[in-house]
Amino acid sequence: MPWLEVVIAFLFWVLSVFLLAVIPVVVALPYLISQWSKFGPPTPEALMEDKQLLFWSVVGIVPAHLLTIAVAWVLITRIRRRPFWKTLGFEWPKHPSPAVISLVCLGLSLVLLAIGWAVTTLLGGGKTQLDLLVESSMGARIATALLATFTAPLVEELVYRGVLYSALEQATGKVIGVIVVTMLFAGVHVFQYLNNPGVILVITILSLTLTMARAYTGSLWPPFIIHLIFNGIQSTFIILAPFIEKFQKTEEVAPATPGFDVAFHFVQSIFIHVCRMT
């Protein structure tokens, strides 16, 4: 019953989005109640500027991801009746070798980052919600970078290219599966990057690449590796960005070295645009 699997997969996708929306609020709620009891009801502006509240909202993504994985395990294994990783598609294709696949994935990740830098440079756009979140505190910056590297690629590939794409491919074929999953993945990021169309376009390109890699290879390893490298490089930039800015201020009061100044500002522009694509 392929269409029943599609319905179940869509319900699981809805649940994953719901958990991401609700669990961080639940985690941050004790802090919010504490502040309310001390200082009265906060204004919307105060909430957006509260560094501790923003930090706890990021931390709250961890239990949301863990719950998503737990539900996926029950759904995929039918409570230990089927193997989890194999059913998901975490098996290496027979050809080429894992080493070759990993190198190709690394190359694709770098190409995607270059495309992202070019697109966001060309189209521009205002600061996104992620920009404001990352800039709120070093704690939020580090937590965001860790989540983007260590949990987001696994959970998002599990939901989109694992459960959802597998069900759609069986019911509708690869083309429809790729289109639907690409749009759903890009769609859930629209609100996060609403005032920056360049970033939304980059996320759509990333989603299409990841889903096509899944369809072409029949394995979840290639999109996972691409996603992991893509997010990991950006997370490195996110953590290093304050130190780059600090270095820039130091460099502004020191005599400029010929050639170095141009190279530095080029690297700085890459940091700014790549950080917006996380």
Each residue's pLDDT tens digit, 183-209: 999 999 888 788 888 889 999 999 999
According to DSSP H, which parts of 151-220 are helical?
Answer: 152-156, 165-172, 174-188, 197-217
Range of the domain at 139: 2-275
Distances (CA, A) of 68 to 64, 221, 256: 6, 19, 51
How open is the CA angle 193-235-188, to the nearest 5 degrees?
Answer: 30
Between 1 and 120, residue with greater pLDDT? 120
Each residue's pLDDT tens digit, 54-65: 999 999 999 999
According to DSSP H, which parts of the chain are helical?
Answer: 2-39, 44-49, 51-59, 61-77, 84-88, 98-123, 129-136, 138-150, 152-156, 165-172, 174-188, 197-217, 221-253, 260-275
Would you say residue 272 has pLDDT above 50? no
Would you say residue 85 has pLDDT above 80? yes
Between 171 and 266, residue with greater pLDDT? 171
Which segment, 87-96, 112-121, 217-226, is predicted with the most confidence on average?
217-226
In this prediction, residue 248 carries a pLDDT of 66
Number of domains in the chain: 1
**Distance between first and last Cα of the chain:** 37
